[in-house]
Structure 1
Amino acid sequence: MQYITRYQKDNDGTYSVVATGVELEQSHIDLLENGYPLKAEVEVPDNKKLSIEQRKKIFAMCRDIELHWGEPVESTRKLLQTELEIMKGYEEISLRDCSMKVARELIELIIAFMFHHQIPMSVETSKLLSEDKALLYWATINRNCVICRKPHADLAHYEAVGRGMNRNKMNHYDKHVLALCREHHNEQHAIGVKSFDDKYHLHDSWIKVDERLNKMLKGEKKE
């Protein structure tokens, strides 16, 4: 078992730590002794148990799936939990005592599942998930307006792209986007992005462009 015994906060908000119980090969030691840093992945176990709010989200989405497909809530939940166990190599997941991290991953998986199969969310479920980044991401990927859920939405930029720029040739990785229907996209431009964020509570909600979104913004076919 590895342990972190000391820490120091760095200027960028991350931490430098001292770890014990780490196994190193001779090649690693040689690099360190010659002044070369080693790349390492450090994962600290999440000791926090899932919240009541997370349980509500999971069961609300499973109820929406039942209403659409007729599949009982319990069998849907167990099926998706099993899928997450296989994907991540987890032991059997229990919603009585799993961590907040595992619950968050399960919520993200169910959201992705619902968007992939075009399963509608009830108003109550949408309200529960209104500030959930995973919901905003998958709504944007599937081009459903994040405000009214209308399909075939625009990919609206937070940062101005610049006049004369060819969006199909430029990379958008330094940009942030959300799916907005034409009506809400026009409103964003009319009142300005800051006022738009204030009105619809979208502060810190814009999605940083990843490879998938970059391809969509360049007009490439969605996977």
Structure 2
Amino acid sequence: MFHSNLGSAKGYWTKQGNYYLVPDVAPNKDRLLTVNHGRLNGAQIEWRLVDPRRATPKQRALFWALMVDISNWNGYSAEDMHDYFEDRFIYLHEGHTVSLADGTESTVTDAKELIDDVIDYIFEFRVPVQKGYELLPRQEEHYQYQCLRHRMCVVCGQKADAHHIDEIGMGRNRNKLDHTKFHFMALCRVHHTEAHKIGPVEFGKKYHLDMRGIKLDKETLQKIGVKGHYDN
């Protein structure tokens, strides 16, 4: 895959149903030839859809609440952890900076990607979250994915099972289903039972959840113990 320095582009739909990107600054042809085996066309490009609004106070509050939680866990100051994650962002985004200070020029997308990295850190090292828990982005796919991957309830953080959002139907052998076609959410037994009792609409309203859930690939499903029949 072709990794260039970060640049911007505009996206357009065609009448034929195709979507294409036009970079604001054309890529260097010599660079393209080097990374794309001597060809100018067909290079794979990484891109992201940017929400151009400025980073929000809610994102700022969540980020700092998580910095305090991490600080309480590892003994470093919240300011030190702030610097650590901002430096990581610069490294991961090839020099692109991010700031959540008042008057920032950083976008909602910048802030989301910064917070996603913090969430990855919290799940990887099992950091206990207290101050930031109520602010966690339960509706966002990345957070729901990590909850499923680490089998932590999306509502309370306790040990969870993968809850099928889609109706499977009584009497079907789940071990013979291709579960990559279904949507999941990580729920502990208490919240799993409650979801069935009050229904998905009321459950979603109560806990501010997107009840569509997310799909998982075969490798993730097998890792979290969801047995099924999967194509090779």
Pairing 1:162–2:169 present: yes
Q: TM-score, normalization: structure 2?
A: 0.70
Shift of the 191–55 alpha-carbon distance from structure 1 to 2, 3 Å rule, reads closer
Query: How far did residue 172 of structure 1 move?
Result: 1.5
Cα distance per residue 1:6-54 (max 9 Å; x no partner): 8447698x8556668466879667xxxxxxxx57647378444322222
Shift of the 2–93 alpha-carbon distance from structure 1 to 2, 3 Å rule, reads closer
Pairing 1:67–2:75 present: no
Unaligned 5+ runs, structure 2: 1-6
Pairing 1:55–2:60 present: yes
* Contact in 2 for aligned 1:169/1:218 (Cα 8 Å): no
Unaligned 5+ runs, structure 1: 30-37
| Matching residue of 1:99 | 107
Pairing 1:196–2:208 present: no
| Matching residue of 1:33 | none
Distance across 2 between alignment mates of 1:149 and 1:44: 29
| Matching residue of 2:4 | none
**Pairwise CA RMSD:** 3.5
Task: Select the structure with the greater relative contact order (CA < 8 A; seq sep ≥ 6).
Answer: 2
Distance across 1 between alignment mates of 2:64 and 2:218: 31
| Matching residue of 2:187 | 180
Q: TM-score, normalization: structure 1?
A: 0.72
Pairing 1:111–2:119 present: yes
State how many pairs are aligned: 208
User: Per the alignment, in what secondary structure is the counterpart of residue 111 of structure 1?
Assistant: helix
Q: Which moved more, 1:186-195 or 1:64-73?
A: 186-195
Distance across 1 between alignment mates of 2:49 and 2:172: 45
43, 47, 60: which is aligned to 1:43? 47
Aligned-residue identity in percent: 27
Shift of the 11–173 alpha-carbon distance from structure 1 to 2, 3 Å rule, reads farther
